[in-house]
Amino acid sequence: MIWKREVVDEQYNYISEILLIILAFACLFFEFYSGLAVFLLCLFYFRSHKWYIETVGKGLKLDQSPKRVRIHCEENGSWDLHLVNEGLPIWGAVIKLTFKDIVEPVNHPYEVYHGGNVEVSIPFSLGKGEGGNLSLPVVGKRRGLCRLTKVQVVIPHLFGSGKVLMDLTEPVKSTMMVFPSPEPVVLSDHQDSYEIGEVPTRHSLFYDVFQPVGTREYVPGDRFQDIHWKASARTQSLQTKVFAPAVKKEWMIVVNLSEKYSITRDLESIIRHTAYLMHLAVKENISFSLVLNIRSLGVTPFYYLPSGTGRKHQQKALEILSTLSTDDTTIPFHIVLQHLSIRGSIPSVIIVAGILLEKDEERLRKIEGKQRNVLFMQSEAKQGVVSLWNQKSKIPS
């Protein structure tokens, strides 16, 4: 634990020490021993004051165990820190936490400074060898990843003369993540894939062999492995298993976040509508993958979350959306589409969002020619719509 210490001492303390030494020598010269004792006692106080203020806080440690708290907008959470004091006792100290206004304290006074920085002061006291937990209740205000940008401890002197300022130079590993709030999206053209899968449906050319729903009389051409032998023995005639019709339901949500040479101005609305599509996919048991043309150092040169389903998969996708910012670097969207096409990872349904250039549309036409349903999501402040890409619908007013 590395702290940057700054001792703020009153200037008159140094002058008082010089004066006390002169008076002590004067009393010794004139053999005024009672006055000498008083001046030496005062000198001892000032030297003890200086020793305490230069030593206190050196044994203070902040627990650095990684912790990430995930909340939604307008949802309450708490920022928990653990302090351990292995040095001199600390009384009447204050720890100041500074972070972005992605979250705001609840039932606790705070100050908001330029740039959306929130500063909270929490008083505490710790004896030697003691530890204590500091809990700051907060509420999520907007999407983002919130970190403690500054941690400062202010330790006053026991008698109020001087103080110690300690700034933490190491980054705090504890973070708060606020998920985006989904905004409604209308699916005007919702089509299933034409591939075999495991999601039950009313009509399909494929069946889920793991979901038998009954039997029927055997007809020539039925597969040998589909014969229900127990039912055949019971009815004394060959019976064939009947399976539930099923289809593969999978979306690939591909988002272009670039606009000319920067991040699109519609970043927040696109994120909110994308979050709604993921929520809808989980609700309808549709597996989905997420692709963003943001530069990445992973296996792919862009953000790519492989196909999956369920709440855990949705949480991974929401974490990616929560960390996006206008400072991210993008790559050309047509390169992303080309990379996905070469890998053969594009499912039957692909939902595209963002501004499309001529090169992007050319690549989408090639994808569409491979029997893929290309849908386009138009995004505005409060309403979005997903329709066939070559039949873009206007957003209803």
Radius of gyration (C-alpha) of the chain in whole angstroms: 34
Q: What is the CATH number of domain 185-191+249-391?
A: 3.40.50.410
- Segment holding 137, helix H or strand E: strand 131-140
- Segment holding 385, helix H or strand E: strand 384-388
Residue 209 pLDDT > 60, yes or no?
no
pLDDT tens figures, 229-282: 777 788 877 877 766 555 567 899 999 999 888 899 889 999 999 999 999 989
- Segment holding 167, helix H or strand E: strand 163-168
Q: Between these two residues, 309 and 27, which has the higher pLDDT value?
A: 309
Please report the pLDDT score of residue 231 as a whole number.
Answer: 76
Alpha-carbon distance of 65 to 369, in angstroms, equals 51
Q: Between these two residues, 223 and 199, which has the higher pLDDT value?
A: 223
Please report the pLDDT score of residue 142 as a whole number.
Answer: 92
Strands 384-388 and 373-379, sheet pairing:
antiparallel
Band (pLDDT 50/70/90 cuts) for residue 204 is very low
The average pLDDT across 349-374 equals: 90
Please report the pLDDT score of residue 331 as a whole number.
Answer: 93
| CATH class assigned to 60-179 | mainly beta
Residue 216 structure tokens: 């029927």
Please report the pLDDT score of residue 244 as a whole number.
Answer: 59
Instruction: Identify the CA nearest to 341 among candidates 357, 354, 352.
Output: 352
SS3 state of residue 143: coil
Band (pLDDT 50/70/90 cuts) for residue 163 is confident
Can you give the residue ranges of every domain in the chain? Answer: 10-55, 60-179, 185-191+249-391, 199-247
- Position of tokens 């940057």? 4
pLDDT tens figures, 284-321: 888 899 999 999 887 889 999 998 988 999 999 999 99
Alpha-carbon distance of 294 to 320, in angstroms, equals 11
The average pLDDT across 364-377 equals: 88
Please report the pLDDT score of residue 28 as a whole number.
Answer: 64
Which has the minimum average pLDDT: 104-113, 202-211, 315-324?
Answer: 202-211
Work out the mean pLDDT of the chain and round it to a whole number: 81
Domains 60-179 and 185-191+249-391 share a fold: no
Please report the pLDDT score of residue 397 as a whole number.
Answer: 43
Please report the pLDDT score of residue 294 as a whole number.
Answer: 94
Residue 120 pLDDT > 90, yes or no?
yes
Strands (E) in 328-372, as ranges, are: 349-353
Residue 393 pLDDT > 50, yes or no?
no
Q: Which residues contact 199 (CB under 8 A, 6 or more apart)?
A: 246, 247, 248, 249, 285, 286
Please report the pLDDT score of residue 396 as a whole number.
Answer: 46
What would the DSSP string read from start to end of 253-315? Answer: EEE--EETTEE-TTHHHHHHHHHHHHHHHHHTT-EEEEEEEEE-SSSSSEEEEEEE-SHHHHH
